[in-house]
Amino acid sequence: MIVLGSASDYKVAQKAVNVFEEMNINYDLRVASAHRTHHRLKEIIRNETDGVEVIITIAGLAAHLPGVVASYTTKPVIAVPVEVKMGGIDSLLSCTEMQLGTPVATMGIDRGDNAAWLACQIIACNDDDLRKTLRDIRSSYNAKIQKSEEELIEKIAGKNYRRTESSSGNSVTVDKTLKLDSDTKVLIISGNYSNMEIVRKISQTLETLKIKSEYKVVSATRSPDKLEKYISDIDDDVDLYIAVSSLSTILTGAIVSHTTKPVIGVPCTTSLFGIDSLLSMIEMPPGVPTATMGLNAGENAALFVARIFSIYDENIRNELIKFMKTLHRNVYYE
């Protein structure tokens, strides 16, 4: 289901619709404001989403729509912030910086297409045919880029253009093979050991929800071949990835480039209040989405994972509901 806070955001919704039409996935379109038509929105989410697997919300300005929707459901909620004022940064921060217990996976500004691609990846967790289609589409990107390169050369290359020759002596071999326990569903990857406190929170929350995870520390810049090899080793065995990264979050982009499975990103604060981490993680190009959480929001990343698995696993859904009841008691001291 695609929910717009205002019909004026139809151009952003159209990007998502185009993807779903291409992928032959059924969708619904609704318009409901979190502030002006709150009861209408609540009725839609509570009473008309039983058959819905993923909810995409599109909103600008204060952009409270995703959070309100997430508060009324345990289904995965994807947010698309819309550029209205302040370059869309106001909307983006409203979508990402959610309270503990209400996770929202946020896309880049106006990236309705990436919201739909992430929705496809989530649905593909329990659909082998869709997973294969996603892999085929990803493979086709190379041919498109090759064609674009040829057209570029034809358009701007001058008399001094020279094609470089390939060399076979620069390849790097990674001998170590990554092996995970057979019941591992989630691989958590951190770019360095400084983010281990966030990783710990993710692991503990997943363990409480009875979701088996493992974690590895691999740098996308210091050990890019190792990262690629590791993902190749285990991509068929895990359902999704959580990437924990700070500064320029190359790690999340690298993981996304090697898989068509959902990648949930947790940006961490180091300098610039973490804005550098958040923006370099969330503003991904079309076709390669990162489900970005708020800054340091490891627990919410784990809860979003549980929402994904809850679509087709009743046991995890029950664990999630039980966890949320416990969380509410802790928060409100009932």
Cα separation, 218 vs 13, in Å, equals 36
Confidence class of residue 331 from pLDDT cuts 50, 70 and 90? low
Distance CA 85, CA 279 (A): 17
The topology (CATH level 3) of 2-124 is Rossmann fold (3.40.50)
Whole-angstrom distance, CA of residue 325 vs CA of residue 139: 43
pLDDT at residue 333, rounded to an integer: 47
pLDDT beyond 80 at 168: no
Count of helices and strands (H, E) across the chain: 12, 10
Q: Where are the domains of the chain?
A: 2-124, 186-332
Q: Tell me: the pLDDT tens digits for 42-95?
A: 999 999 999 999 999 999 988 999 999 999 999 999 999 999 988 899 999 999
| Burial (CB count within 10 angstroms: exposed 0-12, middle 13-18, buried 19+), residue 236 | exposed
In this chain, the answer to whether the domains covering 2-124 and 186-332 adopt an identical fold is: yes
Look at residue 37 in the predicted model and tell me its pLDDT: 95
pTM of the shown model: 0.94
- Topology annotation, domain 186-332: Rossmann fold (3.40.50)
Average pLDDT, the chain: 94
Question: Which pLDDT score, from 0 to 100, does residue 334 have?
Answer: 45
Identify the CA nearest to 203 among candidates 192, 214, 194: 214
Above 90 in pLDDT, residue 270? no
The confidence score (pLDDT) of residue 90 equals: 94
